[in-house]
Amino acid sequence: MVKQIILFFFLTMCGFTMSYSQTISDSISAEPPASFSISGNVDMYYRYGKNKTSSKTIPSYDHGINLGWINLTMNKKWKKVDLVVDLVAGPRADQFYKKEDQENVFTYIKQGYISYEPVKKLKLYAGSMTTPFNIEYLEPATNFVYSNSYSNTIIAASFTGLKAEYVFNDTWTTSVGVYSDPDKKIDPNPKKHIMGTLIYSGDKLSATADILNGRDGDTTAVFMADLYGFYKVNPAIKLGYQFHYMRDKPDRTKQVSEWFSTVIYAQYIIKNNLSIGTFIERFWDKDGYYFGSPDNHIWCFTLGCKYKVAQGLTLLPELRMDTADNPSFEHVSNGRVKTEQSFIIAGLYEF
């Protein structure tokens, strides 16, 4: 099965590439030329702190210089068809994508989908896509700071299925999709998840609302909802907000696992190659979903900056402080403690 899928991707890429060459050479063709692009990024970081915990807010809590991940994205556009193959490897990829697809090639596929635009404003998708939930991305290049919030590290990283997206106008877009269990690229479970998204994009304010309802396996009902967006105060200052809720309820039991998250973001662009970013998060782990300790309120404050040293090369120093009501962070010598402080400096190269 894996070999067949890899062969399919390879043949599709080859077929699109040959079509591209034919289009360019055919001067009488009225079709627009196809395009093919490759982009990616790689990051490494150093962390200093006295705790070593299982939190996924950064790839690893080991001291010294560590690899974040290597990301390679291939995009082929031809007529109304768009093919995306997005590959990842490294500790960050293992944390987010090695949860359900253990020890196979799908661990390294961040995205692999094809889209088709049958008519103007309507686009259809099929394949594995990154989660629409959360304002943050797994790629540090697109975030205000290097590390992630708790909510961004606990939600599903990818969804595999079918999606239809419709653009009403310049400000409103909606989509609806049918997906397999989150983070599963191969799912024998016949029960699926329904997800709806509504996006507003104004001159200064943007907002996205997502709702997902379905079943993980045959025994657990899942519900997720979030609201996030940005507000541009002026060209130099941008504020962000996010509210997230998730609930799991196994069948034949009254036990419900819930968690809530509220995050406020801010970014100040000092000049073209230098910006300061921060976020403050309140994460209520009502049923011990994250650290195994029920009714645990976790606060996180992060302050960092992004300094573009040269073309494609960015440095990201950061200070981070986490506190919890219950002992949650693993100290190197004192067992579990309630606080954690970290200094991180990361290097990111984009191509």
Model confidence over 264-316: pLDDT tens digits? 999 999 999 999 999 999 999 888 878 888 889 999 999 999 999 999 999 99
The C-alpha angle with vertex 157 and arms to 153 and 158, in degrees rounded to 5, equals 170
Structure confidence at residue 156 (pLDDT): 79
Q: Binning pLDDT at 50, 70 and 90, where does residue 130 land?
A: confident
Q: Any bridge partners for residue 220, and if so which? A: 216, 250
Query: Which residue in 290, 282, 277 sits closest to 344, CA to CA?
Result: 277
In sequence order, which residues have a C-beta less than 8 Å from that of residue 167 and are 6 or more positions away?
Answer: 121, 122, 173
In whole angstroms, give the CA distance from residue 191 to residue 219.
10
> Which pair of structure tokens corresponds to residue 226?
């979030």
Neighbours of 227 (CB within 10 A): 16
How far are the Cα atoms of 178, 191, 205 from residue 124, in angstroms, in the given order? 12, 21, 27
Query: Which residue in 324, 320, 322, 323 sits closest to 293, CA to CA?
Result: 324
Model confidence over 63-87: pLDDT tens digits? 678 888 899 999 999 999 999 999 9
For the ranges 29-43, 59-73, 108-122, the one whose mean pLDDT is highest: 108-122
Q: Yes or no: say if 323 and 299 are a contact pair by the CB < 8 Å rule.
A: yes
Rounded to 5 degrees, φ, ψ at 96 are -95, -25
Q: Binning pLDDT at 50, 70 and 90, where does residue 2 land?
A: very low
Is CATH 2.40.160.10 correct for 2-6+37-350?
Answer: yes
